[in-house]
Amino acid sequence: MLSMILTIILMDLLTGVEGHINGSQHIPFTLLQKNINVFTSQEDEKICVLYCQKGMRSKKAAEWLLLAGFKNIYSLKGGFEAWSTR
């Protein structure tokens, strides 16, 4: 039987006052394009889920990263707001 280890990186794009999901890495949306180097080629082997307050900024950030050639980039639908109400 083939076993696979799945690594998921949760990336917090919030400004800091909006909320935070434990275990996520933080880079504010406003700094993401200038600091795209925080994503390395090693991230291609991992799944990266981005989130913001409602999902709009994370969706835009996911589009930027995919256009920059990164793979396995996703946006958390509904953002932190949807996650925190579940």
Classify burial at 30, counting beta carbons within 10 Å of its beta carbon; exposed 0-12, middle 13-18, buried 19 or more: exposed
Of 30, 67, 86, the closest CA to residue 76 belongs to 86
Q: How far apart are alpha carbons 48 and 70 in whole angstroms?
A: 10
Residues marked active site are found at 52
